[in-house]
């Protein structure tokens, strides 16, 4: 048994030793072969240059095949390589190759561009060199081919030396293994006793040997195992705490009930939904905890092994829940998981969507009804009265323009809300943002009998914004101010710094906005009473709000009826 253990101990080292010596021998042989090949390539290239210099005269003025053949016969007696002379078009002029044999042209293309080339393959080495006159005009090429056996040496002595070194090293490893194994036998026996104690559940007061280096890692592994098993209960407690933390932070309610309907787990979100404390709810029946017969029926179906799902509204807050019952047949046989997802906000969003559709329908109905009435009036005879017909057509154009504006603003609002509007942000001065709006709206304000005042401090810090989009917002605000300011009034376009933001504002002396409408003017389609009387789609301020928010800013309004209104928005300082 001890001898068998010795061999098991020594065998991995012997295998590793054989692998190391095999790899090392292979690397040495490959290195010697590579150096022989490189040295022979250099030698062939130098030889090719010397022969090319001798053959230069035989190429002028025209290649002399007999002189080249004679040069080949003279040269091949001195070198162990096949020589081939070619003209500038790669046609063979003379060659020492056997009749019918062709030279290796693999290096020819490289020699044409670089003047010389050398390639190696399994057959040997081929070099090609340009033959040129004194003006570097290419006369032809010389190719030297040398067989692999010419330059490759017999390397069997390297393998012999490697085998001898391997035998000596193996004998040393075996001897060392026998010595170390005898010294380690007592340590292994102590480790065996410690392992038996751990197997019986004793994780303390274990005796470990003073292990030699070969067994040190093994002994440390045993110590670590005992410590891990001894702290297993603590680890499980921590895992339970993690699970509890996840359940406590979940926004969805979770209840797990056993087969008899007693609550085994209740997270805080579920406790808030059913207004019951987590501790007092544990152990109670699902009927007492949930108190809604629809939920009890869902649990009963899920308890029979059928996955269930329903949606219902509960409580005085009209919470809209999606409830899913999942049988835990694998992880907790006989138990059922009830998951409560609060979809109240999604339902409110759905209500907003329906209101949006209703508002769009309302906004479309009025101009369409007007267009229909005008068209019917024209059909009934107004076409025969040119002044009346022209008046009706102008009114139809106005209604069509209103419809076009509504559709364009709806599309713009949709693109903004979906984040598909490309924004080109630049570092720009606040005054440079205000000035284009002032220049574009000043004439319209004058036609309405209003004074448009531009007031901007040039030393305000720059902001990071899309100038075109912010100009669009400012024009919208100024346009609203013009629409609701009586002739003789004043509109101010200005900006100031407040903390890390630049606040832009449009102030007017118009009719003002009622307090009940002030908080809703940025909603889609919302119009104050005066705004309804003045026309418009009710989308302009909603578009402005979304555009400012996409810049990381905020928009708001202040107003006093009969005095005027001020609409503000801020942008972060760049």
| Mean pLDDT of the residues in the chain | 77
Q: CA-CA distance, 45 to 119, in Å (whole number)?
A: 11
CA dist list (Å): 264 to 270, 286, 378 = 13, 10, 77
Residue 360 reports pLDDT greater than 70? no
Reduced to 3 states, what is the DSSP secondary structure of residue 76?
A: helix
Q: What local confidence, expressed as pLDDT, does residue 225 receive?
A: 72
In contact, 230 and 301? CB cutoff 8 Å? no
Q: CA-CA distance, 229 to 221, in Å (whole number)?
A: 12
CA dist list (Å): 363 to 394, 515, 527 = 20, 24, 12
pLDDT digits (tens, 9 = 90+) for 270-306: 777 777 877 777 878 888 788 888 888 888 888 888 8
Interhelix angle for 386-417 vs 540-550, to 10°? 30
Q: Where are the alpha helices (DSSP H) in 231-324?
A: 232-249, 268-274, 278-281, 286-290, 293-303
Q: Which residues pair with 390 in a beta bridge?
A: none
Q: What are phi and psi of 125, to 5 degrees?
A: -120, 135
Q: CA-CA distance, 14 to 465, in Å (whole number)?
A: 72
Q: What local confidence, expressed as pLDDT, does residue 2 receive?
A: 46
Q: Cα torsion at 170, 174, 177, 178 (round to 10°)?
A: -170
Confidence of residue 68 (pLDDT cuts 50, 70, 90): confident
Question: What's the rounded mean pLDDT across residues 437-452?
Answer: 90
Q: CA-CA distance, 337 to 329, in Å (whole number)?
A: 10
Lowest-confidence range among 359-363, 498-502, 512-516, 559-563? Answer: 359-363
Q: What is the DSSP secondary structure assignment for residue 485, as one 8-state letter?
A: S
Q: What local confidence, expressed as pLDDT, does residue 508 receive?
A: 94
Residue 520 reports pLDDT greater than 70? yes
| Percentage of the chain modeled with pLDDT above 70 | 75
Q: What local confidence, expressed as pLDDT, does residue 80 receive?
A: 74
Q: CA-CA distance, 291 to 296, in Å (whole number)?
A: 8
Residue 399 reports pLDDT greater than 80? no
Residue 269 reports pLDDT greater than 70? yes
Q: Which range, 17-31, 57-71, 443-457, is most confident? A: 443-457
pLDDT digits (tens, 9 = 90+) for 411-424: 766 676 666 667 78
Residue 156 reports pLDDT greater than 90? no
Residue 212 reports pLDDT greater than 50? yes
Name the helix (H) or strand (E) containing 162.
helix 156-199
Closest by Cα among 162, 150, 142 to 124: 150
Q: CA-CA distance, 317 to 344, in Å (whole number)?
A: 10
Q: Where are the alpha helices (DSSP H) in 211-259?
A: 213-230, 232-249
Q: CA-CA distance, 511 to 535, in Å (whole number)?
A: 15
Residue 82 CB neighbour total at 10 angstroms? 21
Tokens 């309405």, located at residue: 448
Q: How far apart are the first and last CA of the chain?
A: 81
Residue 564 reports pLDDT greater than 80? yes
268 against 365, higher pLDDT = 268
pLDDT digits (tens, 9 = 90+) for 231-247: 775 677 677 778 777 77
553 against 332, higher pLDDT = 553
Confidence of residue 531 (pLDDT cuts 50, 70, 90): very low
Question: What's the rounded mean pLDDT across residues 436-455?
Answer: 91
38 against 30, higher pLDDT = 38
Question: What's the rounded mean pLDDT across residues 74-97?
Answer: 77
- Domains of the chain, earliest start first: 2-151 (3.30.450.20), 156-230 (no CATH), 248-342 (3.30.450.20), 347-417 (1.10.287.130), 426-572 (3.30.565.10)
- The three state secondary structure string of 92-107 is EEEECCCCCCCCCCCC
Q: What local confidence, expressed as pLDDT, does residue 530 receive?
A: 45
Q: CA-CA distance, 85 to 63, in Å (whole number)?
A: 10
Q: What local confidence, expressed as pLDDT, does residue 215 receive?
A: 62
Q: What is the DSSP secondary structure assignment for residue 523, as one 8-state letter?
A: S
CA torsion sign, 20 to 26 to 29 to 32?
negative
Q: CA-CA distance, 377 to 388, in Å (whole number)?
A: 10
Confidence of residue 140 (pLDDT cuts 50, 70, 90): confident
Q: What local confidence, expressed as pLDDT, does residue 230 receive?
A: 65
Which residues are within 8 A (CB) of 109 and not within 5 positions of it... i.e. 6 or more apart? none
Residue 9 reports pLDDT greater than 60? no
Residue 373 reports pLDDT greater than 90? no
Which residues are within 8 A (CB) of 139 and not within 5 positions of it... i.e. 6 or more apart? 56, 59, 60, 63, 87, 88, 131, 132, 133
Cis peptide before 159 (omega within 30 of 0): no
Question: Under the phi-then-psi rule, with left for phi > 0, alpha for psi from -120 to 50, and beta for the rest, what region is 333?
Answer: beta
């Amino acid at each position: 048994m001890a001898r068998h253990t010795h061999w098991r101990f020594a065998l991995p080292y012997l295998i590793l030793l054989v692998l190391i010596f095999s790899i090392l021998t292979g690397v040495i042989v490959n290195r010697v072969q590579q150096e022989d090949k490189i040295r022979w390539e250099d030698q062939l290239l130098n030889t090719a240059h010397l022969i090319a210099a001798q053959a230069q005269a035989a190429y002028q003025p025209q290649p002399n095949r007999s002189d080249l053949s004679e040069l080949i016969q003279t040269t091949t007696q001195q070198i162990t390589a096949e020589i081939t002379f070619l003209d500038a078009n790669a046609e063979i002029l003379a060659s020492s190759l056997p009749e019918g044999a062709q030279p290796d042209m693999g290096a020819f293309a490289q020699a044409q561009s670089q003047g010389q080339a050398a390639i190696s393959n399994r057959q040997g080495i081929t070099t090609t060199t340009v033959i040129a006159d004194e003006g570097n005009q290419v006369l032809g090429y010389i190719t030297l081919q040398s067989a692999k056996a010419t330059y490759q040496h017999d390397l069997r002595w390297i393998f012999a030396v490697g085998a001898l070194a391997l035998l000596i090293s193996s004998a040393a490893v075996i001897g060392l293994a026998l010595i170390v194994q005898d010294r380690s036998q007592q340590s292994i026996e102590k480790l065996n006793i410690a392992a038996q104690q751990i197997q019986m559940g004793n994780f303390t007061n274990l005796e470990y040997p003073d292990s030699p280096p070969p067994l040190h890692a093994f002994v440390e592994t045993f110590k670590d195992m005992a410590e891990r098993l001894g702290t297993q209960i603590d680890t499980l407690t921590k895992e339970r705490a993690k699970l509890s933390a996840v359940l406590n932070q979940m926004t969805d309610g979770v209840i797990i009930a056993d087969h008899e309907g007693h609550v085994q787990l209740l997270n805080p979100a579920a406790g808030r939904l059913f207004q019951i404390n987590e501790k007092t709810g544990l152990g109670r029946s699902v009927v007492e905890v949930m108190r809604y017969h629809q939920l009890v029926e869902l649990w009963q179906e899920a308890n029979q092994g059928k996955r269930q799902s329903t949606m219902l509204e509960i409580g005085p807050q009209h919470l809209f829940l999606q409830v899913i019952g999942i049988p835990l047949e694998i992880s907790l046989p006989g138990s059922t998981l009830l998951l409560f997802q609060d979809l109240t906000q999604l339902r409110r969003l759905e209500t907003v969507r329906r209101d949006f559709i209703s508002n769009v329908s309302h906004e479309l109905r009025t101009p369409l009804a007007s267009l229909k009435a005008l068209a019917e009036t024209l059909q009934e005879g107004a076409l025969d009265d040119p002044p009346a017909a022209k008046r009706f057509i102008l009114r139809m154009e106005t209604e069509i323009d209103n419809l076009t504006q509504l559709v364009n603003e709806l599309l713009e609002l949709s693109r903004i809300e979906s984040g598909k509007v490309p924004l080109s942000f630049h570092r720009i001065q606040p005054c440079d943002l205000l000035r284009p709006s002032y220049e574009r709206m000043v004439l319209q304000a004058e036609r309405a009998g209003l004074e448009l005042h531009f007031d901007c401090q040039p030393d305000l810090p720059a902001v990071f914004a899309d100038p075109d989009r912010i100009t669009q917002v400012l024009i919208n605000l100024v346009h609203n101010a013009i629409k609701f300011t009586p002739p003789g009034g004043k509109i101010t376009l200005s900006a100031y710094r407040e903390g890390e933001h630049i606040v832009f504002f449009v102030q007017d002396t118009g009719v003002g906005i009622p307090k009940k409408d002030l908080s809703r003017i940025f909603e889609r389609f919302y119009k104050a009473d005066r705004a309804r009387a003045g026309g418009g789609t009710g989308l302009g301020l909603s578009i402005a709000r979304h555009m400012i928010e996409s810049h990381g800013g905020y928009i708001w309004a202040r107003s006093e009826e009969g005095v005027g209104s001020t609409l503000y928005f801020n942008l972060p300082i760049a």
